[in-house]
A and B are shown apart, each in its own frame.
Chain A
Amino acid sequence: MSAVSPAPFSAEEIAAEGLKPEEYAEIVHRLGRHPNKAELGMFGVMWSEHCCYKNSRPLLKQFPTEGERILVGPGENAGVVDLGDGLRLAFKIESHNHPSAVEPFQGAATGVGGILRDIFTMGARPIALLNSLRFGTLEDARTRRLVNGVVAGIAHYGNCVGVPTVGGEIYFDPAYTGNPLVNVMALGLMETPEIVVSGAKGIGNPVLYVGSTTGRDGMGGASFASAELSDESEADRPAVQVGDPFLEKSLIEACLEAFKTGAVVAAQDMGAAGLTCSTAEMAAKGGVGIELDLDLIPVRESGMVPYEYLLSESQERMLFVAETGREPELIEIFHRWGLQAVVAGTVIAEPIVRILFQGGVAAEVPATALSDNTPIYHRALLAEPPAYARQAWTWTIDQLPPCTLEGIEIEGNRWRWDDVLLTLLATPTIASKRWVYRQYDHQVQNNTVILPGGADAAVVRIRPVQSIAQSITKTPAPAQPPVFSSGVAATVDCNPRYVYLHPYEGAKAAVAEAARNLSCVGADPLAVTDNLNFGSPENPIGYWQLAEACRGLAEACRELSTPVTGGNVSLYNETLDSEGNSQPIYPTPVVGMVGLIPNLQQICGQDWQETGDFIYLLGMQPNDAEGAVVSAATEAASPPSALTLGASEYLAAIHQTIAGIPPLVDLDLERRVQAACRFGIRQAWVRSAHDCAEGGVAVALAESCISGQRGATVHLTVSQHPEIGQTNNNSNSYPRWDHLLFAEGGARILVSVSPSQAAVWESYLRDHLAGHWQKIGQVEEINSSLRIVTADNQSLINVRMSDISDRWYNAIEHQLSKSILLES
């Protein structure tokens, strides 16, 4: 073995590309020589976690990825599912966490742009956007700036590009103060007969560069996204790209038109790692090579060197492989839309990426070395759960102060249950997100069936459209107006406190809740795209969280028949303070799920429809002693339960306690409850449905009241509950009214049914959901009150509609505006 000459780079230069010394040695081994600066940069971005999943790939393998309706699973730009009738839906979620932390407006905006390109690269027209956001608490001035910037950035891009932002979720928790999360999900309806793939084909075929110009913006963004944030991260702001939604809108139209010509062999968007990633992936997937001449790339700045061309993350750019001889018709389409389009390279037989610059070879790397055959780290899993989790699991409900029918005394303060409910409704995590979604155009495209805030999931009608070119060239003779009656539902979900306290159960809960939300609008859950936002996998606790969450996701997706079609992994979501202490976020595996609605006449929202309708609670019942305890191998002090105050919003917001075991998920019960809900909706028995999530049944009742502007009277019966235990001698604490009102979990859904349908509905429930349903009350007059009473008619909660509506609707706005006044 011959001695290798010393590296032409210092250890700092190698580290600056995000590469470890052993990774550098591997590069030298694979090339048989030292890389040059451009090549080093290419390896740096392509071997980042963001691009090659070197830490998460072994864990992702366990996800179910196949199913009857899955047309495209993981590996392409987006997943595709079959909706029937020749309709196909592409969908995917992606994170833009680190860019949004240092430049919230552009960071979030380009997050939207990036996920849209993943969708239309497949040949699908984007029809809906959702987002999943995590911030610190609104008391913090920097967080308020981030919230304003991220929301404005999403609005800016989504509104201009003309894709409705129809849904999402937001959590506020100090765990995200230094490292907010911005995950964006997009849905698209396939418009081309064939799904456009990314593998290059046909030796000699031209490689086209289309879209915007290349500049120095977003240099090395993928590496930036794969390192911890620190006090110096602000200096990395050049790594944040600048988006142009107007160009993207034209790019969508031009690309879909181009794909329909049949002249495009393969397409790949330029997202993370720009030209490097797109050329390497297209070449590797096609088993061929690509030669690209940088002198032909349209630029917006002069004097760029190969390193800059290759690592630029300028937005709104794509790479095509075209059929030889058909370049001109493609170029014409892009020029008509005012976009760049040039032949910049060729498909070659030798499986390498060869970059030409000013007459010489600037870089030459085996394509698979960059994108396929990348490093993988198998890390050891902790032998037992980490101390923080074991400590949290020792919490029991007996640690709470005693409570009575009237309320609870906490550290000298008396809380009536009314006060607790009003406080919970005003916590930003539970409160209405109207201030946010009012800034997003959620109706453009004329297909939004359920508006944001109206239901547990977004519902969008499926209605294929023509390209502008088709609509210009022919004036169709009016025929019978077409009828489009099917739709898709979509949701993004993850309760990160559950995942933090028990990654396995918490991840299962995220999948279960997503499916439940879809079922509450009447949709059949189809498939999942997931965004794994975690801390550093190099930290044993971080890796344990990631591994356990993946195990939970895999199991729940398998059990609920919702395969994973792809997604995104965002690791190193940690903040390093000036002393170098690392503060990771809560592990946050966001589950994006899509569902099918065969008939849009058979859907429902969360709002009560008619005074006098009966209210039912499906799922685990408060007095359901038998089903309440699910066996689980944990070291808990009290038996883990499916219905619990552990990890609840009540515990966090009212008792300032983050502890306990989150609700255990009973996937069989989930399946049965959700099926019953969907069946009831399709029979038109069920007129409203709302799942019980944060804040339990009391908050869910209040939300259905607020949305429907109608009150309700509800009887909650209770018998002794196993979690409450027999050992508590304080007679005042029997029964635990807070558990009855605010416990979470249990696969529960609140539905309302017209009295005229009650008999047939109850008969169905007796047959299909025995033991897991209860009629609990009745819908009252418009603008009346929400009353929750015990079995013997003693009042627990009695709040006026106007009070709960005001709290819930205005909480976030008040917190943001109150702070603005204080600052000015």
Chain B
Amino acid sequence: MKFGIIVFPGSNCDRDVLWVTEGLLNQPTRMVWHEDSQLSDLDVIVIPGGFSYGDYLRCGAIARFSPALQATIQHAEQGKPVLGICNGFQVLTEAGLLPGALVRNRDLHFICDRVPLRVERTNLLWTQAYQPGEIITLPIAHGEGCYYADPETLAALEAKGQVVFRYSETSNGQGVAENPNGSLNHIAGICNSRGNVLGMMPHPERAADAMLGSTDGLRLFAGILAQVAAIA
């Protein structure tokens, strides 16, 4: 399976994803320059974390206009997998591939930490290696990760089961203490209605290497390998 990782000026987790897909999982992976629009050779596209174009106007606001992102939208429309991590999640909401927006954290500080997440859905390409309701721990690192959507959108997301990861220490809790950034409904990650596009603020690629202590995130990548391999 061939992975593509989009590189905007200001992306800084691009090589971290490369280390997981190519270094740990042995999959052919190519970096995609933001001006490149030929992505048809790719099976999976990852939009990595960072500060695309400096995030000066609004996180992800410029990136959506890049040729690579326009090609990513087409890729997604064909039902192929797209993963946006952190800034990549912000880019996906700006591009309209996912609903809602990511705004400043509740306490206004950047937060780098490891947080417990509940896996809400395991019948996706991405999450099939997890158990339903499983609590995993993934790193977060963001200043603008507070998920916001209007009440109708939020209700629709919940109704259609598009919330994939929720900040939670328990299989059903929703205490404020467990919500690091003030996200509505404790949302840490969502998918589109088709389920092929996943956006998440936590960094699965930072919890993939046993040498660094945690492999809770590796299953996200390993899961899609197994799934796509099965389809092929």
Contacts and interface: CB of A to CB of B under 8 A. Distances in A.
Interface of A: 152, 155, 159-162, 244-247, 249-250, 337-338, 437-449, 461, 463, 465, 468, 471-472, 475-478, 481-482, 485, 600
Nearest to A435: B109
Contact of A246 (B15, B51, B208, B213): B51
A443 B112 contact: yes
A481 B26 contact: yes
A461 B211 contact: yes
Contacts of B205: 446
Given A446-B212, A477-B28, A439 B9 contact: no
A245 B51 CA distance: 10
B110 A443 contact: no
Contacts of A443: 112, 139, 141, 203, 206
Interface in B63-122: 109-113
A468 B212 contact: no
Interface of B: 2, 7, 9-10, 12-16, 18-20, 22-24, 26-33, 36, 49-51, 53-56, 109-113, 139, 141, 143, 203, 205-206, 208-209, 211-213
A485 B112 CA distance: 25
Nearest to A337: B9
Given A159-B141, A438-B111, A472-B32, A246 B10 contact: yes
A162 B109 contact: no
Nearest to B30: A475
B65 to A, nearest CB: 15
**Lowest 6 CB-CB distances: which A-B pairs, in order?**
A162-B12, A246-B54, A471-B31, A446-B16, A478-B26, A441-B141
Contacts of A438: 109, 111-113
B212 A449 contact: yes
Contact of A465 (B10, B15, B28, B203): B15
Given A160-B54, A446-B209, A461-B211, A155 B110 contact: yes
A383 B218 CA distance: 65
Contact of A159 (B7, B18, B22, B110): B110
Nearest to A156: B110
Nearest to B16: A446
Contact of B22 (A160, A463, A478): A478
Given A249-B9, A478-B22, A461 B212 contact: yes
Contact of B2 (A249, A445, A471, A475): A475
A476 B7 CA distance: 17
Contacts of B211: 449, 461, 485, 600
Contact of B112 (A244, A250, A440, A449): A440
A338 B29 contact: no
A3 to B, nearest CB: 58
B13 to A, nearest CB: 6
B212 A442 contact: no
Main secondary structure of the interface of B (DSSP, over half): mixed
A337 B212 CA distance: 31
A465 B18 CA distance: 10
Contacts of B14: 468
A444 B28 contact: no
A480 to B, nearest CB: 8
Contact of A475 (B10, B28, B212): B28
A155 B108 CA distance: 13
Given A476-B22, A476-B28, 9 more contacts: A159-B110, A160-B12, A439-B109, A442-B112, A443-B141, A449-B211, A468-B14, A468-B31, A600-B211
Nearest to B50: A162
Nearest to A485: B211
A562 B32 CA distance: 43
Contacts of B50: 162
A463 B113 contact: no
A488 to B, nearest CB: 14
A610 B120 CA distance: 34
B12 A471 contact: no
Nearest to B35: A336
B110 A439 contact: yes
B9 A338 contact: yes
A316 to B, nearest CB: 12
B56 A444 contact: no
Nearest to B113: A438
Max chain B Cβ within 10 angstroms of own Cβ: one of A152, A155, A250, A443: A443
Nearest to A450: B213
B109 to A, nearest CB: 5
Contacts of B36: 472
B30 A472 contact: yes
A481 B18 CA distance: 12
15 contacts: A159-B112, A160-B51, A162-B12, A246-B53, A250-B9, A337-B9, A338-B9, A438-B112, A441-B110, A446-B15, A446-B205, A447-B212, A449-B211, A461-B212, A476-B22
A465 B14 CA distance: 11
Contacts of B55: 160, 246
B54 to A, nearest CB: 3
A155 B109 CA distance: 9
Max chain A Cβ within 10 angstroms of own Cβ: one of B13, B20, B110, B143: B110
A247 B212 CA distance: 30
Nearest to B205: A446
B149 to A, nearest CB: 26
B24 A481 contact: yes
Contacts of B10: 160, 246, 249-250
B18 A444 contact: no
B97 to A, nearest CB: 23
A537 to B, nearest CB: 38
A441 B16 CA distance: 14
A165 to B, nearest CB: 9
Contacts of B23: 481-482
A485 B51 CA distance: 30
B31 A472 contact: yes
Nearest to A246: B54
B11 to A, nearest CB: 8
B175 to A, nearest CB: 18
Nearest to B17: A446
A714 B31 CA distance: 55
A441 B109 CA distance: 12
A422 B111 CA distance: 27
A471 B30 contact: yes
A441 B114 CA distance: 11
A445 B2 CA distance: 22
Contacts of A449: 211-213
B134 to A, nearest CB: 22
